Every structure is written in C-alpha cells, then in structure tokens.
C-alpha cells in the first residue's frame, strides 16, 4: 500500500492509498476532486473507496464529483455522521475494520472536534515497519483540533486512544498547521528540550517548503502539549493537577493564540 500525499486548498492534505498490483486506489478526506483525479489518471488507477473522518466541507468537498466519475466506489464514514457525508454507504463504529490493498485498518471513534469523528489505523505488517494513522482533525502534528461539537473530556478520551498506539506510528493529519502549533506549544511548555529542537527542525523544513506531515507518534508524545495533559510542567502552566482541566485550559489558550 503506497500512501501519496496531495496538497489541497490552503493547507489541507488529501491522502491517496494506492495498490499498484490491482491498479486501484482509495482516498482519505478528499477536499478537492481535481488533484485526486489528476493523480489517479497518472497512476491509471480506479478509485474504489472514500474514507471520510468527519463531515466538515474541507474533508468531504470532493465526494460528489468523485462518485460521479467512479459510480461503483464505496463511501465510508462514522455512524454518527449519517446524513452529513455525501454518498455515505458504510457507517462505521469504534472497533470496526476496513480493508484495502491486503491491509486491514482499525476504526477508532474519536469525538471532540466533531461529535462523529473517526480515525483509521493500519497496523504495521512487520515489526520493523510503521503503522499508519489517518486521524483527520483530531490529532495534528504539534496540536489537536478545535472542540466544535465535543467536550474536553471527550477529546482527552479520544486522544488517549491514539496516544496508546506504538511510537513508530506515522501520523497522517489533514492540515499543514505544524509550525504555528509548535509556536504555541513553546508558550506552554518552554523548558521542553525535545520541543525546542523540533521547532527548529520544522522551521527549517517550512523554509524549504517541505511538508511536515506525516509526523511520528513518538515525537508527538514528547512534544505535543495536547498529548501531555498528565505532564507536570503542563499542569503547572494550567495551574491544575486535573488532566482534563489541564487539557481544557491549554486548548482554550490555543483558541486565543
């Protein structure tokens, strides 16, 4: 399974999963149909599935156009998004499995950003390979999604599920927000040496116009304040020892950043 990252809109990423042997592809959160169709034509591949993480327009904006061009494809999304994702045929719940290119992904129900958000995790095939996490807007490189329809407690629970995955999991989040996320992270976790080093690395990458996605989950665990609600220095910043309150306060600070 080859993963191809397609930049779209202002700062979105669309992810195309390609099976070169069967000449088929699946797409995750297609914001715009044009780069998807262009890449499919280049690969001479047939689109068989859309995997949506949630209903926001910059994640489902191309569904209808892609369905028109590939009428036999299947559209997957969370069961709680029924009626909000164009063309949805498969309604997924926590713990469900989806298959593509002889790989099986586990579905996580991760509400917080929206009430219906899901994520897809493909475990590694062999111990020395990476797992692949497609987390939409729940977890970002250096950050997490705004709480539009969920509560801090829900988001902490959702992020806990993702944080429990192996360190060598690649995090395929849907936006290029990393540099600004790390700028904020330094304001709440300024003594974190790993974070300081990462900020310098990401600054250099963006100056070269390189993508910072995917990131590694092990790096997120060390540097992302929204995975560190139980860390003493973050609790000191939030002036509370309650993990959910720590997360809520830091999320509110980010909203105003």
Q: Which residues are catalytic?
A: 54, 56, 58-59, 113, 137, 175
Identify the bridge partners of residue 77 per DSSP, sorted by sequence position: 91
Distance CA 201, CA 196 (A): 9
Question: What tokens does 152 get?
Answer: 């801090």
Question: What tokens does 104 get?
Answer: 């099986």
Question: What tokens does 154 get?
Answer: 């829900």
Question: What tokens does 185 get?
Answer: 């992270």
Distance CA 256, CA 187 (A): 12
Identify the bridge partners of residue 97 per DSSP, sorted by sequence position: 106
Closest CA to 113 of 74, 157, 72, 71: 157
Distance CA 182, CA 96 (A): 33
Alpha carbon of 212 to those of 14, 58, 132, 173, 207: distances in Å? 14, 19, 15, 10, 11
Where in 113-243 does DSSP place strands (E)? 118-122, 131-136, 139-140, 143-144, 169-173, 215-216
Closest CA to 14 of 213, 218, 220, 150: 213
Distance CA 130, CA 124 (A): 5
Distance CA 120, CA 136 (A): 9
């Amino acid at each position: 399974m080859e993963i191809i990252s397609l930049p779209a809109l202002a700062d979105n990423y669309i992810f195309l999963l390609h099976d070169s042997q069967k000449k088929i592809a699946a797409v995750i959160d297609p914001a715009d149909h044009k780069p998807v169709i262009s890449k499919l034509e280049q690969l001479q591949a047939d689109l068989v599935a859309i995997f949506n993480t949630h209903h926001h327009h910059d994640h489902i904006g191309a569904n209808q156009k892609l369905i028109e061009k590939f009428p036999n494809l299947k559209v997957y999304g969370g069961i709680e998004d029924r009626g909000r994702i164009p063309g949805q045929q498969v309604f997924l719940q926590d713990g469900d499995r989806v298959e593509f290119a002889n790989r099986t992904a586990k579905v996580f129900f991760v509400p917080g950003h929206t009430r219906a958000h899901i994520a897809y995790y493909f475990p590694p095939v062999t111990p020395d390979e990476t797992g692949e996490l497609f987390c939409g807007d729940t977890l970002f490189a250096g950050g997490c999604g705004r709480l539009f329809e969920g509560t801090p407690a829900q988001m902490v629970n959702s992020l806990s599920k993702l944080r429990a995955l192996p360190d060598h999991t690649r995090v395929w989040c849907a936006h290029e927000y990393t540099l600004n996320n790390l700028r904020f992270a330094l304001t709440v976790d300024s003594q974190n040496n790993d974070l300081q080093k990462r900020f310098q690395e990401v600054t250099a990458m963006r100056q070269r116009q390189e993508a910072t996605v995917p990131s590694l989950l092990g790096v997120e665990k060390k540097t992302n304040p929204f995975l560190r609600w139980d860390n003493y220095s973050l609790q000191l910043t939030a002036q509370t020892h309650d993990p959910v309150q720590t997360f809520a306060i830091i999320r509110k600070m980010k909203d105003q950043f």
